[in-house]
Amino acid sequence: MTSNHSSATEFCLLGFPGSQELHHILFTLFFLFYSVTVMGNTVITVIICVDKHLHSPTYFFLGHLSALEMLTISVIVPVMFWGLLLPGMQTVSLAVCVAQLFWYLALGTTEFALVGAMAVDRYVAVCNPLRYNTIMKSHTCISVVTGSWVFGFLSEIWPVYATFQFTFCKSNVLDHFYCDQGQLFKLSCDDTLFTEFVLFLMAVFIIIGSLAPTIVSYTYIISTILKIPTASGRRKAFSTCASHFTFVVIGYGSYLFIYMKPKQTQAAEYNKIVSLLICVLTPLLNPFIFTLRNDKVKQTLRDGVKRGCQLLKD
C-alpha cells in the first residue's frame, strides 16, 4: 500500500436509483418479502424442533438451511431498508462494512456446504433406503452440519481480511445497497489483480466442491428412479428429493449468474439485480418450496393450526 494515500474509514452506499417515492414503494415491497421470509423460515425451524415426527436427518438439515436463510436476509436487508428510508446516500462505518461482508460470505459458504450434504442425504434415501438409518446416524448428521458451519466461517476470514488490507482512496462511494466485495476492489488504489484471482479460485472451489456431490447424487437418483417399474413408485421416489432439487436449481442458478458478467458499464446494476435474487428472492421461496411439496410438513402445520383453534375455542 502507498503511504501517502488515505484509506476510507466509512463508506457511502448509493443503493437504488429513483425518487424518494419509488424508494418508499420498494421499502414496502421488500419489507413484505422480509416479513414473509422470516416468519416462514421461523415456522419451519420451530415445527422441526418441536414435532418428533420430523426428527430425521432430512428435516435436521432443513432446519439449519432455514436458519441460514433467515440470517442471510437479516444481514443484508435491514441495511438496505435504512438506505431506502433516508434521502441521499447511506453511510456505514468501516467496522459495519467488514462485519456485513464477512457474515454474508460466511453464511453463503455454509449454505453451499449444507446443500451439498443434503444432496448426499437424498441419494442415500432414494438409492439405499434400507441402509438410510444406518448411514445417516444422528452423530453423523451433527458432525456434517457442524463442519459446514465451521468451514463456512473459517474459510472467509482470509478473503475479508485481504479485502480490507487495501487502501480505498479513489472514493468511498459503493454503487450497491450493501458492502459488496467487487465494488470495494474498484475503490482501491492498489493492485488487486492477484488477490481477486485467488478469491475467484476459492469461490470456484467452494461452488464446485458442493456442486460436484450434488450432480453425482442426482445422477444416481435419476438412474434409480428410472429403474422403478411403476409410475406411482417413480413419483413417490422423486417426491422425496423434488423440494431439494428445486432449491438447488434456483440457488446455484442465482450464484452462477454472478460469474456470467456482462459489459463493465452494466456490471453495477446487473450485480444489484442478481444480489436481490440471492439475498431476497431465494430466502423468500425457501418456505414455500419445502412446505408446498412436503406432505409431512403440511400435515404438521395443519395439526398445529387445529390445536391453536381448539385452544382459542377453550
Kindly report, residue by residue over 168-180, the tens digit of the pLDDT. 888 889 988 999 8
CB atoms near residue 146 (< 10 Å): 11
Which domains, from first to last, does the chain contain?
A: 10-313 (1.20.1070.10)
| CA dist 64 → 13, 38, 149, 311 (Å) | 31, 14, 10, 30
Segments of the chain scoring below 50 in pLDDT? 1-6, 260-266
Cell numbers found for residue 66: 432455514
pTM (two decimals)? 0.86
> How, if at all, do strands 173-174 and 90-93 pair?
unpaired
Alpha-helix residue ranges (DSSP H) falling in the chain: 20-50, 57-85, 94-127, 132-135, 138-154, 157-163, 181-186, 193-226, 231-239, 242-258, 264-276, 282-292, 295-313
